[in-house]
Amino acid sequence: MAGKEETMQANNIMLRAILFILIVCVWSASTLTGAASRDEPQKTNAGGSIRAEGLAAWQQVYAVLTHPRCINCHTATDYPQQGDDRHRHFANVVRGPTGEGVPGQQCVTCHQEANADSTGVPGAHDWHLAPLSMQWQDPNDKILSSTDVCKAVTDRSKNNNLDSAGLLKHHSEEPLVLWAFRPGRGIDGSMRTLPPLTHEQFVAATRTWAEAGTPCPQNP
Amino acid sequence: METYKLTVNGQPREVTVDPGTPLLWVLREELKMTGTKYGCGIGACGACTVHLDGVATRSCVVPVSLVGNRPIVTIEAMAEDPVGRVVQDVWVSHDVVQCGYCHSGQIMAAVALLKSMPKPTDTDIEESMGGNLCRCGTYVRIREAIKAASLQLR
């Protein structure tokens, strides 16, 4: 009697084990299938695939460009912004004729060659506002659409005549771009928030977008 | 602590301080040059303005480690500066000062403005001096004095 019960228990365990293995196999197969479908090019041809990848990469670039560390100095107004809430820069700071402030109040009146973490003032070489042609906000501080920012960034009459290689170099090497990924401490001692990508990821996304011919999304 | 060699009003000076020490406190506490004033400590009021390589600079937010070899000029040197002398004279003739606390910074900003822009408009003056606050409200007299200095310097 005891032997029969032991045999039934062993069969029960065996059945449960087989059921578990089956569940795991089905789950793995569905996961892999899903991954494959995400990675599968959205295309009908190779050109479409490259463009789709370029547009996806642009959306990553756009997410960085519109982060406060970047867009606070790409205003449509006569002044820079500061903080994650993108408020007007304190001390009545104004743009000035070249985006570097005015004689008694230049950007370098406070912003030095490097972050001043002991006093909470950010710094990098040649601190200045982007030109008005590179505004990524409207005059009411509303961030422009992905389409409009993309058009501005790729318009050589507005972007300091940068082609795709120039844009990639700008994103890779420009000190103020690099600063955005190492923004230092604020006046309260806390670290400033970072853009949604690392600098390496940002450059990689820019490269993918550039190699796809810097495509811009259509207006929704 | 680090040792820094500075040039202040043309004179070589050496200080040993923490690298994060603001230039203002190096001037006031280490070099005992108290003409430059502490106002807000965050670069918002302009009372601490000095010239760093000729640029009006808020000394309260610039750590001494970032000064490098740039010459520092403070209010103590303005009497010997051709533009500074004129600005100080018009400050007196126009009776600009009330309590006076902010005027070291006001004069340093005004001198930087006039050296860069010898014929400033009212808008130029308001924008350039807009970061120098005065609780006594001497702004109108400041503007008139700068215009007078501009005329004298032509």
Q: How many CA atoms lie within 13 A of A21 on its CB side?
A: 6
Q: What are the structure tokens assigned to A177, written together?
A: 């771009």
Contacts of A121 in chain B (CB under 8 A): 43, 61-62
pLDDT tens across B46-77, in order?
999 999 999 999 999 999 999 999 999 999 99
Please indicate whether residue A27 or residue B127 has the higher confidence score (pLDDT). B127
Percent of chain A with pLDDT over 90: 77
For an interface test with B, the pick among A88, A90, A92, A106 (most B C-beta atoms closer than 10 Å) comes out as: A92
Least Cα distance to B61 among A90, A129, A81, A182 occurs for A90
Contacts of B22 in chain A (CB under 8 A): 118-119
Give the per-residue pLDDT at A110: 98
Give the per-residue pLDDT at A216: 97
Least Cα distance to A67 among A206, A165, A152, A183 occurs for A183
Chain B residues bordering chain A (beta-carbon distance below 8 Å): 18-22, 42-46, 49, 55-58, 60-63, 66, 68, 109-110, 112-113, 115-117, 124, 127-132
Sequence letter at residue B54 = G
Q: What are the structure tokens assigned to A77, written together?
A: 């107004």
8 Å CB contact between A196 and A129: no
For an interface test with A, the pick among B42, B67, B102, B107 (most A C-beta atoms closer than 10 Å) comes out as: B42
Is residue A29 predicted with pLDDT exceeding 50?
no
Please indicate whether residue A69 or residue A38 has the higher confidence score (pLDDT). A69
CA dist., res. B15 & res. B31, Å (int):
8
CA dist., res. A74 & res. A81, Å (int):
9
SS3 B130: coil
How many other β-carbons are positioned within 10 Å of the β-carbon of residue A22?
10
Q: Which CATH class is domain B2-76?
A: alpha beta
Q: What are the structure tokens assigned to A107, written together?
A: 């950007």
SS3 B152: helix
Per-residue pLDDT band at A219 (split at 50, 70, 90)? confident
Q: Give the CA distances from residue B85 to residues A35, A56, B113, in Å, rounded to whole numbers and listed in that order.
A: 75, 61, 14
β-strand pairing of B2-8 with A101-102: unpaired
| Contact between A121 and B61 using a beta-carbon 8 Å cutoff | yes
Q: Give the rounded distance of the alpha carbon of A186 from its chain centre.
A: 21
8 Å CB contact between A152 and A133: yes
CA dist., res. A133 & res. A162, Å (int):
13
Percent of chain A with pLDDT over 70: 78
Tell me what the mean pLDDT of segment A153-180 comes to. Answer: 97
Is residue A46 predicted with pLDDT exceeding 70?
no
Q: Which residue of chain B comes nearest to A109, CA vs CA?
A: B57
Q: What are phi and psi of B115, to 5 degrees?
A: -70, -30
Is residue A38 predicted with pLDDT exceeding 80?
no
Give the per-residue pLDDT at A48: 79
| Contact between B58 and A112 using a beta-carbon 8 Å cutoff | no
CATH superfamily of B77-153: [2Fe-2S]-binding domain (1.10.150.120)
| Contact between A104 and B43 using a beta-carbon 8 Å cutoff | no
Tell me, what's the ipTM? 0.96
Give the per-residue pLDDT at A30: 39
Q: What are the structure tokens assigned to A184, written together?
A: 């230092």
**Mean pLDDT score across all residues of chain A:** 86
**Bridge partners, A137 (sequence order):** A143
Residues in chain B where the model's pLDDT stays below 50:
none
Sequence letter at residue A65 = L
Contacts of A92 in chain B (CB under 8 A): 127, 130-131
Sign of CA dihedral A56, A214, A75, B54: positive
Domain residue extents for chain B: 2-76, 77-153
How many other β-carbons are positioned within 10 Å of the β-carbon of residue B4?
18
**Closest CA of chain B from A202, distance in Å:** 29
Tell me the DSSP string of A68-136. HHHHTTS-SSSS-EETTTTEEPSTT----TTSSEETTEEGGGT--SS-BTTTTB---TT--PPPGGG--
Per-residue pLDDT band at A17 (split at 50, 70, 90)? low
CA dist., res. B70 & res. B10, Å (int):
11
pLDDT tens across A51-80, in order?
999 999 999 999 999 999 999 999 999 999
CB-nearest partner of B62 from A106, A116, A117: A116
